[in-house]
Structure 1
Amino acid sequence: MSPPSASVSIQIAAPPAVVYDLVTDITDMGDWNVECERARWVGPVREARPGARFRGHNRHGRRRWSTLCTVITAEPGRAFAYHVQAAGLIHVAVWRFGITPTETGCHVEQSTWTTRNPLMRVIGGLVTGVRDRVAHNEANMRRTLEGIKRVAERA
């Protein structure tokens, strides 16, 4: 895979399994994710495994939108990734959490790859109110990982 459009990492003093359980419990995603207010499973599969789908409901200021996500990687304690589509057919991005064990817990890296074509980048900016998606994602990813860290280290 090509280098990510944006990537941020953090050290978390919690076992990889705890962090993995947090990032794959998409129904609680709004508790620690900055832009995603809530998410819900779509279809018969209601757990993190390849092919499972969920709808994310997002917000930036007064602007709101939803996306359809399909899980592409679900490796317990190691990695969780999903492909994001807008309007059910427009490729938007791939998001991934990589979890690496350390002596004191784990190293967690959140990365994203933009898959929008140039026209959709402009339209996406108008819909979401975000002109510089890379800088916006990096700032949100830092806050998201700090939220995961707070929750994981309390567990």
Structure 2
Amino acid sequence: MGGEVSVHVDAPPAQVWALVSDVTRIGEFSPETFEARWTRGSTGPEVGATFKGHVKRNGIGPTYWSACRVTRCEPERLFEFSVGTKEITVNNWGYRLEPDGSGTKVTEYFRLEAGLPMRIYWTLLGWARGKTNEKGMRTTLERMKAVLEQ
């Protein structure tokens, strides 16, 4: 219950890391999350840091804020966060970075939690949401690539 998209970026992992782990910049790249800010005293990427993202699902309709918590943070390698509450995680998003020639292979991914409500959702609507997420991840990564390679 998830998916991923990868692109090659002509930039070193340190430069890519600085961009993907700065949640305050996601509004420049994502077609759905148009702003984000660190919360509860968090000021940057580290395990346990919290932030919230302002989302407009599919780029249309009403907006809402999603609470997020950094769950994995390995500079220049991995940045992952959960979406939901402290008690219930709905899904996880992340970026994996791998040296790739003179640049970096960047993979954005999502993974839904395996609870029964999410399994039912994925069975009924997952094919459509998966396509939307894949398109959104590709758009996000291509926009990041353009900034990193300019």
Q: What TM-score, normalized by structure 1, do the two folds share? A: 0.84
Give the alignment's Cα RMSD to 1 decimal.
Answer: 2.1
Given the superposition, is the C-alpha separation of residues 17 and 35 from structure 1 closer, same or farther in structure 2, using an over 3 Å criterion?
Answer: same
Question: How many angstroms does 1:120 deviate by?
Answer: 5.7
Aligned residue identity for 2:99: P
Question: How many angstroms does 1:59 deviate by?
Answer: 0.6
After superposition, give the CA deviation of every residue in 1:14-64 in whole Å (9 maximum; x if it has no partner).
111111110111111100122101000011121100000000000131221
Given the superposition, is the C-alpha separation of residues 68 and 9 from structure 1 closer, same or farther in structure 2, using an over 3 Å criterion?
Answer: same
Which residue pairs with 1:115 in the alignment? 113
Q: What TM-score, normalized by structure 2, do the two folds share? A: 0.86
CA contact (8 A) 1:41 1:55 kept: yes
In structure 1, the gaps of 5 or more residues are 124-129
2:98 to 93, 100, 108: 100
CA contact (8 A) 1:13 1:105 kept: yes
CA contact (8 A) 2:112 2:118 kept: no
Percent of paired sites with the same residue: 33
Which residue pairs with 1:76 in the alignment? 75
Given the superposition, is the C-alpha separation of residues 37 and 7 from structure 1 closer, same or farther in structure 2, using an over 3 Å criterion?
Answer: same
Distance 2:138 2:72 in 1: 22
Tell me which stretches of 4 or more aligned residues in structure 1 moved more than 3 Å.
116-123
Given the superposition, is the C-alpha separation of residues 132 and 112 from structure 1 closer, same or farther in structure 2, using an over 3 Å criterion?
Answer: same
CA contact (8 A) 1:71 1:82 kept: yes
Which residue pairs with 1:126 in the alignment? none
